[in-house]
Structure formats: structure tokens, C-alpha cells
Amino acid sequence: MKVIVLIAFIGILGALFSAGVLMLRKQKGKATMARALAVRVGLSVALFLFILFSAWMGWIHPTGLPLGK
């Protein structure tokens, strides 16, 4: 589970870095930068949905502060 989340985070950061580099270069145009940002958003949504699905399946258990104390 941790490996999947780590790979997703690396992909998200890679797409963000790629969009930043493409933003600084004027040669490629805005279409490739928009595509890189769309990939980042898609990966972020997919990671969020995977975490929700994992919690629903019982693969991970949410923890937090106890509310009764």
C-alpha cells in the first residue's frame, strides 16, 4: 500500500515539475503544459479514489484523535 502511494506521489510531483519546466520554455507552447497539468490532476484524483476504495475494502484503517476524550 505504501509503495503504491509513494509511486503516485512521485508521478504527481513529476507531472508538476514537467509542467513548470514547460511553462518556462516558450518553444513547446501551452498545450503540452496543459496536458502535464491534466495528468497531475488525474493522478491526484486517482490516488484519492484509491485511498477511499482501500478504506472501504478494509485494507487501511483511518486513525485520528479520539473524540470521546
- Identify the pLDDT of residue 45: 94
The count of domains in the chain is 1
- The answer to whether residue 51 is domain-embedded is yes
- The answer to whether residue 62 is domain-embedded is no
- The answer to whether residue 28 is domain-embedded is yes
Q: Note the pTM of the prediction, 2 decimals.
A: 0.74
Asked if residue 56 lies in contact with residue 32, where contact means CB atoms within 8 angstroms, the answer is no
- Identify the pLDDT of residue 68: 65
- The answer to whether residue 47 is domain-embedded is yes
Asked if residue 18 lies in contact with residue 35, where contact means CB atoms within 8 angstroms, the answer is no
Where do we find the cell 502535464? Answer: 36
Q: What is the pLDDT along the chain (69 residues), one digit of tens a residue?
A: 889 889 999 999 998 888 888 888 776 667 778 888 889 999 999 999 999 999 899 888 877 777 665
Non-local (6+) Cβ contacts of 19 within 8 A are: 33, 36, 37, 40
C-alpha cell at 17: 515539475
Domain with 17 in it: 2-57
